Amino acid sequence: MVRAQRTLEKPATIEGVGLHTGQKAQVTIKPAAANTGIIFIRVDVSGAEPARAEIEQQLDIEKYPRRTSLASGQYPIHTVEHLLSALYALGIDNAWIEVLGEECPGMDGSSLPFVQAIQQAGVRELPEAREVLKVREPIYISENGSHVVALPGECLKVSYTLDYHHPFLRSQYASFPIDPETYTAEVAPARTFCLEEEVDRLRALGLGKGSDYNNTLVIGTAGVINNSFRFEDEPVRHKISDLVGDLALLGAPLAAHIIGIRSGHALNTRLIRKLRELQKRERSVGVGAPSLLSFDSHTLNIDEITGIIPHRYPFLLVDRIVELKSDRAVGIKNVTMNEWFFQGHFPNRPVMPGVLIVEAMAQVGGVLMLSKTENRGKLAYFLSIDRVKFRRAVTPGDQLRLEVEVVKMRSKTGQVQGKAYVGDRLTAEALLMFTLMEA
């Protein structure tokens, strides 16, 4: 189950007031290239840094309760879960999100305004495959009567049981597959809520400064105060929306059945950290190793690449492997003006040397061959280069996509076909042959 990566067709801007800070807030979601991921950045302060929407950059949930927050350098970005939930459910893998203020706008308290803004901007597929994580064995997290479980599944499905022991808000259960159509109709409109008895305590904590009866369902003993439910079980549907937003911090689509029982952001975070730990373990022990997770399309970061091939800066010409199968690999090289070879190669009109494009393809081919269990620890040396063609120049700002496929593979030699693209345009191609030798 592999799908194409996605981004927006054009930017989308949403303005409003933060639910907790009460301050004016604005987010602009911009299209981004394949393999960028979801990146937030504060644009209202100097010195802010990009905040990748991954669990490692989440702020302490105990220090910042009742919301999911990220760190943009030393600056926080609060209440990202509704936006992340919409992006995840609509399959947006790559976006650059500029935030004006320290919190995302609360809008009507649901993720629906974000869904509508994304849909209006349009969704565009990119020419790269998306890594999908599949849970293979049950994972169970429990604390103080709350539980969250990940079970094997072919797609993401989220079920949730809510039970507040409240005279009006009793046990509720809902379960939905998380696909764009179902999510938009059944989950996205569900608004955030709190009990009337919680209001003063939340205010004392400095929370809910931007909340009112329109954007937050306040539930008293007789029902919803100055408002009404969009669904009879709107609170449990909002819990599902929040859980989807937290799952986005895994940084990859998940194929699993997630079951929450009275869980909140804190417990959700523990599940994501467990999944993240298994994700890293799967990558570190190599392709095909046993794990509670599996990958439909393996990816490798720079540390994992240097654990397979011997190349190092400045001659390491692959930034990331975005697809790794038994007979095919795809690598990425981001070409910047800071490359060492631009100092002497046409310095007044910088062009990446063609031989280095071929070398970059060869390094991806080396990863493809040396990642195999039987070849780990060996070295791959060139035997021949044939049928080399250069189609167009590569200049600073280009992103090279390096595709390599096996032509022949024997115990001591291997032949691969390499092609380099910038966008969807073929830049170079070559037939490469290697010999494998002990290090």
Enumerate the active-site residues. 265, 345
Q: For residue 87, which of 241, 272, 293 has the smallest C-alpha distance?
A: 241
Asked if residue 314 has a cis previous peptide bond (ω within 30° of 0), the answer is yes
CB distance 305 to 368 below 8 Å: no
Beta bridge partners of 295: 133
Tell me if residue 254 falls in helix, strand or coil.
strand
Q: In angstroms, how far apart are the furthest CA atoms of the chain?
A: 80
Tell me if residue 264 falls in helix, strand or coil.
coil
CB distance 436 to 414 below 8 Å: yes
Q: Which tokens sit at 102?
A: 């320290």
Q: For residue 318, which of 334, 329, 304, 307 has the smallest C-alpha distance?
A: 334
- Rounded CA Rg of the chain: 24
Task: Determine the Cα–Cα distance for residues 82 and 25; give it in Å rounded to an integer.
Answer: 14
Q: For residue 405, which of 413, 395, 415 has the smallest C-alpha distance?
A: 415
φ/ψ of residue 206, rounded to 5? 85, 15
Q: For residue 96, which of 207, 217, 221, 8 has the smallest C-alpha distance?
A: 8
Centre a 10 Å sphere on the Cβ of residue 186 and count the other Cβ atoms it contains.
17
Task: Determine the Cα–Cα distance for residues 216 and 229; give it in Å rounded to an integer.
Answer: 11
- Decide: residue 150, CB within 10 A, 0-12 exposed, 13-18 middle, 19+ buried: buried
Name the helix (H) or strand (E) containing 359.
Answer: helix 354-370
Q: Which tokens sit at 91?
A: 């399959």
Beta bridge partners of 24: 17
Q: Which tokens sit at 158?
A: 């989220």
